[in-house]
Amino acid sequence: MTRKIIIDTDPGQDDAVAILLALASPELDVLGITAVAGNVPLPLTQKNARIVCELAGRTDVKVFAGCDAPLERPLVTAEYVHGKTGLDGPELPDPTMPLQDAHAVDFIIDTLRDEPSGSVTLCPLGPLTNIATAFSRAPDIVDRVQQIVLMGGAYFEVGNVTPAAEFNIYVDPQAADIVFKSGVDIVVMPLDVTHKALVTKARNDAFRALETKVGIAVAQMTDFFERFDREKYGSDGAPLHDPCVTAFLIAPDLFTGRRVNVAVETRSDLTLGMTVADWWGVTDRAPNALFIGDVDSDGLFALLTARLGRL
Ligand code: RIB
Ligand code: CA
């Protein structure tokens, strides 16, 4: 039984790898890819999503452009990490596959209404603007969502864009607040786990050793992507954030976490976008998310490399 998913994304090299993993995995049926402004502005994220689909040989995948700015705040981007194109590293051709005419938010709403209730999982890999806009515009779809598996947030690992906040949540905290309060069954892949998914040299070499267009491109993407994080964290490779989302859908046993309440700071200048995880249950706030804290990283990269080798 394949699992129907919508990938909401701001490619970004790690988004690209997450999309490739999904497209290489028969367990997943990608109903569509919805682009959102985040790592780079929307014109680039929607273009990069199509570049990645063409790299995978999947020009059949529907790609939609969504929101070009957060709900209430000015857009913050991350070219310093991802490069000016958002997909720096490999030399990939401009896409020829079309961008869908419909707005991404309308696609999300229509798909959740048209597919059987509880049969579609949303996989946000960037700021939650598209998801929150869809929920606000069409509240009837909230109960029809099977699950949300998202990359975002941080607790014990602290923030990456401010001392308190992770980038996806920080860019649009109001959207994140709507999603975390929606009542949908949520699985969170925070920095707490993604910082354990490090692209070491051996793992990058394994991508390159596939000796395929995809394998070499992924090795070049992660080479580019990691130069910033390796210097910042002094770690043995850069964290590969977004593929944790699609890997969880394929092999959930690679991950462990705890169901806790996660609340989002939407007002404080000091801690805006912080995901406050009630890890010890010291409040009366009901648990609303499975907050993932650990991963079998060797198992993750073995799965990822094997699947990329199929493209
Ligand atoms: O903080 C990491 C997240 O921000 C990842 O999704 C990365 O692609 C960027 O969107
Ligand atoms: Ca992303």
CATH code for position 63? 3.90.245.10
The 10s digit of each residue's pLDDT in 95-118 is 999 999 999 999 999 999 999 999
Q: How far is the CA of 146 from the centre of ligand 2 (A)?
A: 21
For residue 149, the enclosing domain spans: 3-308
* All residues at 6 or more sequence positions from 73 whose CB lies less than 8 Å from its CB, including other chains: 171, 172, 173, 174
Closest ligand to the CA of 168: 1
Rounded to whole angstroms, how far apart are CA atoms 65 and 103? 6
Q: Is 167 helix (H, G, I), strand (E, B) or coil?
A: helix
- What is the number of the ligand 1 atom nearest to the C-alpha of 126? 10
Q: Is 29 helix (H, G, I), strand (E, B) or coil?
A: strand
pLDDT given at position 64: 99
241 is catalytic: yes
Ligand 1 pocket test, candidate residues 7, 8, 10, most atoms within 8 A of CB: 10
Distance of CA 172 to the CA centre of its chain: 14
Number of domains comprising the chain? 1
Q: Is 226 in the pocket of ligand 1 (CB under 6 A)?
A: no
pLDDT given at position 1: 82
Q: Is 39 in the pocket of ligand 1 (CB under 6 A)?
A: yes
Rounded to whole angstroms, how far apart are CA atoms 185 and 196? 24
- What is the number of the ligand 1 atom nearest to the C-alpha of 194? 2
Ligand 1 pocket test, candidate residues 128, 241, 246, most atoms within 8 A of CB: 241
Residues of the chain with pLDDT under 70: none
The angle at the Cα of 40, spanning 39 to 45, to the nearest 5 degrees, equals 100
| From 82, 103, 195, 241, the catalytic residue | 241
The 10s digit of each residue's pLDDT in 213-255 is 999 999 999 998 878 887 888 888 889 999 999 999 999 999 9
What count of Cα atoms within 13 Å lies in the side-chain half-sphere of residue 33?
Answer: 32
The 8-class DSSP code of residue 174 comes to: H
pLDDT given at position 171: 98
The 8-class DSSP code of residue 2 comes to: P
